[in-house]
Structure 1
Amino acid sequence: MPGPVILFAAKSERWDQYEHPLRTALSEVGLSDAVLTTQAAPETVDYIVYAPNSRMQDFTPYTRLKAVLNLWAGVEDVVGNDTLRVPLARMVDHGLTEGMVEWVTGHVLRHHLGMDAHIHGQDGVWRAGIVPPLARDRSVTILGLGALGAACAGALAALNFDVHGWSRSPKTIDGITTHSGKAGLADALGKAEIIVLLLPDTSDTQNVLNADTLALMPTGAIVVNPGRGPLIDDDALLAALDTGRIGHATLDVFRTEPLPPEHPFWTHPKVTVTPHIASETRAASASRVIAENIRRGEAGEPLLHLVDRDLGY
């Protein structure tokens, strides 16, 4: 008797990347008899491996569906789908987390050390005498203390940065000064010489950096956003950069992607744009996460990384 039917619903290039790693991972958890396919009669499908930018938007025909397993960490483009009435699991992948930690640590160190002045200043001028503080004298604030935020906070603390973290609900993390709630946000921003945004995109987090909150930060503070584009009010950030309230912004995510060529971020001298590369999902490690959840589903065990529909992540 064949195993569960697993429908891969993503763009064709993703299938080329994931087919072999998924088959390998399914075999490793004892599901070598699973039917992995890009086409199946809806009433036969048990699980959907899903990218929110796929053509599938109506889950109603999938009457036997047990769970949808998101390929992305972000679920804002699927969590509000009224036709989705089965458990939704987001991607929590060690490879994705490691990639994010490396990107965040690299850019925090870049700004902390003032590396841009030397990288871009190859003009014959000897720019000596500007010495950054040691990491222990530099305050870095992480907005969002989920899996990615906590991992980044831990890595920066290990480098001796004075790390503060903010989340909407109270959290305790060794070596990190944590803040929560509205009052806590003001405290966290006031400490943020460098701020890293790793919040999900929800109605509560959109425009968390706006004219009022940017004004709470130390003059010349650095903004690093590998989280979600809508976390920042673009116009407010540009105004703060123009006045010097914010010293620089390194942005990896945007409200519209790809970032339109006419957007002022491209040409602003205090903005670095990177093309949503802070952390890519790696097919091999992500496939193991998906395969384990399918094994759990077939064994009647609780699924990992389930999304709370009320919270939106």
Structure 2
Amino acid sequence: MAKQTDGVSRRTFLAGAAATGAVAAAGCTSNTGTETDGGLSGDINISGSSTVFPLAVAMRGEFTAEDVHPNVDISVNSTGSGGGFTNYFCTGDTDFNNASRPITETEEEQCSSNDVTPVELKVATDALTVVVNNDASWFGEDGEECVTVEQLAEIWSAESKPTTWSDVNGDWPDEEIQLYGPTDASGTFDYFLEEVLGEEEQHRTDYQSTEQDNQIINGVANSEFAIGYMGFAYYSENTDRVTALGIDNGDGCVKPTLETASSGEYQPLSRPLFTYPAQSELADEHVAEFARFWLENSTSESIVADEVGYVPNTESERDEMLDRLESAVEAASE
């Protein structure tokens, strides 16, 4: 099967996807598909998570390959999980929304008011990754770089709002903290807020925010006193440029890897990743078939782990999601 990334590195794939894969979703074109002599055809519009974005682009490349469904046109737009739900998917303007956290009750209500029924499908697992500059030696050296959840919370809290690293730990440099992270429309932001800061805290706003995770990498790589966080896939392609911190959640330091995310050791930053098709759009064969294809390949080590950098679904997770999808397809066709 032809791959979108044949002949290029995973880093080139991620950089290219970020630059060219995001197609503006300003209004949804008709996606009524047809079965022709050349196979399925039609349009699919996808909004949502920057974390799930490279996985969606990889699945698009596999699905629209010349020997699979070359007449299906799939647009993928990196808007952030919340931005995608609010501005595109729940308004009925896109067929899928990718998300790095579950849909919220408010988003479900918005969708319902527009007769959009989201179908939650888990497609992978991520190790949300905290990165620092390679010269930030105060966190440890030679693979022992670590931070506690409490220190992370203090660094990113709007209440404590430390100015210098020494404000957090007196043994750390008396140098200004430079922060890079996702916008508040991002599911990564929401997950970090909930799992690290907690319901009683607010995320500080005086940081460089972006929906382009490569910009977070660049910011941290270019400043000795910077810190940032994003999905593991982007870190995995830049291991020479930035350093991933291990997380001490009370039981010792655990580094973010596909293995520790899969085992559940990497807490609290191991998280499920989702795509949400709109149930009504699943009545169109090419939309249902793409959702089915994505789930069938969600167990693929070569696509999900090797090509993109996330933990694949287990076979039981895949089968559960396929059952959920088929029920939604049946409901959409009634």
Tell me the TM-score normalized by structure 2: 0.31
Which one has a larger percent helix, Structure 1 or Structure 2?
A: 2
- Greater length-normalized contact order (CA 8 Å, ≥ 6 residues apart): 2
| Larger Rg, first or second structure (1 or 2) | 1
When normalised by structure 1's length, the TM-score is 0.32
